[in-house]
Structure 1
Amino acid sequence: MRIIDISMTTDADPAFAGDRVTFVDHAQGAERNRIEAGIDPDHWPTPGHSHAIDRLEITSHTGTHMDAPWHFGPRMADGSRPLTIEEWPLSRCMGDGVVLDISDVDDGAEVDLHHVQRLLREIDYAIKPGDVVLTMTGADRHYGTPGYADRGAGLSRAALKWILEQGVTLVGTDAWSFDRPYSVWAAEYHRHGKDPQYLWPCHLLGLELPYAHIEKLANLDQLPPHGFTVIAFPVKIVNGTAGPVRAVALVQE
C-alpha cells in the first residue's frame, strides 16, 4: 500500500484578507515560561529555548479543507437545516476514488455532463455509490502565485447533479473552489441580467442534494484514474462551515 499525500500545506491564503500564520519560536517560548511560571530560561535542555508554537489566524477554508452543506446556505430545499462540518458522517469522508482529468480544459471553462461521461468511458469506469470523485484541473501548480483563485475549470451543475445521483456524497478538486472561479460565474450572473441561476451553481446544488466537497487538493497527477482509496477526515469545528483535512490516497501496489 502506497500513501500519496493529496493535501497542500496550510499557510496564509492571499485570497482571504487577514489570513496569518505566526511562528512563536523557542526563545519566545522560554521567555513566556519565565514570565508566566518563573522558570529560568537557562534551565531548559537547550538554554534559553523551550517550546515553540504556531499561531493560526486563518479561515476554516484555508488550505485543503472540506466544505459542509452549512457553508452553502442556512436552509435546505426541503426546509431542514444543513449539516455542519462536525455533523458530517465520517463514513462519507472516505471511499474508492476516481480522477476526472480536466487539466486540458481552459481556466474558467465549464465541463458538461457529456464531457464527464466521455472521460469515464475513456478510463473504463462506472461511478458507484460511495465513490469519491476528484476533478484534476492542475490549478494546484499555481498555488501562491497571482491569480491562483482564477485557475482551473469546473463541472457544470448538471454534471455534478448526475454524479451525485449515482450515490456519490463526496467530491473534490485541486482548484481553489469546486465551482468555477468566482470571477467567471459572477460575470455570467451580471451578463445575464443578474439571473440567479448563474450563482454558485455547484455549491448551491448541495442545498438540494446534500453532499460535501474537498477544495485545494494537490498532487492528483500522481494518482491512477481509479483503483485507490481516498481518506479525508475534517477537523471537528463546532457549527463549522468547513474543516481542514489531511487528505490522502491509498494506492494498492
Structure 2
Amino acid sequence: MIVELSHRITEGMVTYPGVPGPVLGSHLTREDSREVYAPGTEFHLGTISMACNTGTYVDTPHHRYADGPDLSQVPVERLADLPGMVVRAEGRPSVGMDLLDGLDVRGMAVLLHTGWDRHFGTDEYRHAHPYLEAEAAAWLAEQGAALVGIDSLNIDATPPRGERPAHTLLLAAGIPLVEHLTGLAGLPDSGFRFHAAPPMVAGLGTFPVRAYAVL
C-alpha cells in the first residue's frame, strides 16, 4: 500500500508567505505540434516557473550552507527507501524532547505529525504553526536521524526572523528536511518506508518532491 504525503502543485498556489506561486505555460501547444508531427499525432511541451520552495519540498544542506551538498550531491539513500517513524504532536504548539526521549531514531525518517496540514492553502496555515524545538533538533542530529519531515509551514518557528535553529542544526549534520507534508494521519507509527527524492539539480538546495510512504 502506498500513502500519498504531498500537496498538489497548482497554478498560482501560495505555499509560504511572500514566495510567488508557480506559473504554468507551454513551450509547444498541442495545436502548434500538429504542424510538427504526422497527422493524428500531437504533444504538449509544458513549462513551469516557480520558486523552489513550493508545495511539499526537501531542504538539503546547501539551502542553509553555501558549501553544503546540493540536490545533486545528497546521496539518494538519504532521500528514498528510508525506514520511517511518525512522532504524534497534534494539538501541540511545538515538538519537544518529551515526545522524542527514548526513541531509536538512528537511520530513520522521522516525520512530525502536527495535523497542521489541514490548514494548507488558508491564511491560518501561515500563523502560529507548530515547529520543532531547538533542543529536540539538536537531539535528532546527535542521535543520527536520516531525515526529518513536518506537516507544517516550517520546521522552525516563524516569526521571529533571523535564527532558524532546526534548519541550522539538522542541515549542518547533513540531515535533509521535508516541509509541508500532508497525510501523516494515514501512516502507522512505524513499519513503513519513506521516499522524498527530488531531481538532481546542481546548485540548488531546495526543490519540490513527491513524498510518499510504502506500507
If the TM-score is normalised by the length of the shorter chain, which range does it land in?
0.7 to 0.9
Instruction: Give the secondary-structure state (helix, strand or coil) at the position aligned to 1:31.
Output: helix
Matched, 1:19 2:18: no
2:90 alignment partner in structure 1 = 103
Counterpart Cα distance in 2 of 1:170 and 1:207: 10
Counterpart Cα distance in 1 of 2:19 and 2:214: 35
The alpha-carbon distance between structure 1 residues 25 and 60, as it changes in their structure 2 partners (threshold 3 A), is closer
| 1:5 alignment partner AA | E
Q: 1:173 aligns with which of 150, 155, 169?
A: 150
Displacement, 1:217? 1.0
Counterpart Cα distance in 2 of 1:151 and 1:60: 23
The alpha-carbon distance between structure 1 residues 246 and 25, as it changes in their structure 2 partners (threshold 3 A), is same
Instruction: Give the secondary-structure state (helix, strand or coil) at the position aligned to 1:171.
Output: strand
- 8 Å contact kept, 2:149–2:177: yes
Matched, 1:68 2:52: no
2:109 alignment partner in structure 1 = 132
- 8 Å contact kept, 1:137–1:152: no
Query: What is the TM-score of this pair, normalised by structure 2?
Result: 0.86
Instruction: Give the secondary-structure state (helix, strand or coil) at the position aligned to 1:203.
Output: helix
Q: Deviations over 1:82-102 (max 9, x none)?
A: 111110011111311111111
1:153 alignment partner in structure 2 = 130
1:214 alignment partner in structure 2 = 178
**RMSD of equivalent CA atoms:** 2.4
Counterpart Cα distance in 1 of 2:85 and 2:148: 10
Matches within 5 A, 1:75-114: 81-94=67-80, 95-105=82-92, 109-114=93-98
Instruction: Give the secondary-structure state (helix, strand or coil) at the position aligned to 1:22.
Output: strand
| 2:87 alignment partner AA | L
4+ residue segments displaced more than 6 Å: none
Instruction: List runs of 5+ in structure 1 lacking aligned partners.
Output: 75-80, 121-125, 187-195
- 8 Å contact kept, 1:99–1:220: yes
Matches within 5 A, 1:228-247: 228-247=192-211
Displacement, 1:169? 2.7
| 1:111 alignment partner AA | V
Matched, 1:116 2:100: yes
Q: Deviations over 1:7-35 (max 9, x none)?
A: 11122442354322325499x4213553x
Report which stretch shifted further, 140-149 or 10-19: 10-19
Q: Deviations over 1:101-158 (max 9, x none)?
A: 11211xxx333212432xx6xxxxx324210100111121111112323353111111
Displacement, 1:176? 2.0
The alignment-based identity, stated in percent, is 26
Query: What is the TM-score of this pair, normalised by structure 1?
Result: 0.74
Matched, 1:56 2:43: no
Counterpart Cα distance in 1 of 2:4 and 2:205: 24
Counterpart Cα distance in 2 of 1:168 and 1:160: 10
Q: Deviations over 1:167-196 (max 9, x none)?
A: 11311011121212x22x33xxxxxxxxx6
Instruction: Give the secondary-structure state (helix, strand or coil) at the position aligned to 2:72.
Output: helix
Matched, 1:7 2:6: yes
Q: 2:140 aligns with which of 143, 163, 179?
A: 163
Instruction: List runs of 5+ in structure 2 lacking aligned partners.
Output: none
Instruction: Give the secondary-structure state (helix, strand or coil) at the position aligned to 2:139.
Output: helix
Residue-pair matches, total? 211
Instruction: Give the secondary-structure state (helix, strand or coil) at the position aligned to 2:6.
Output: coil
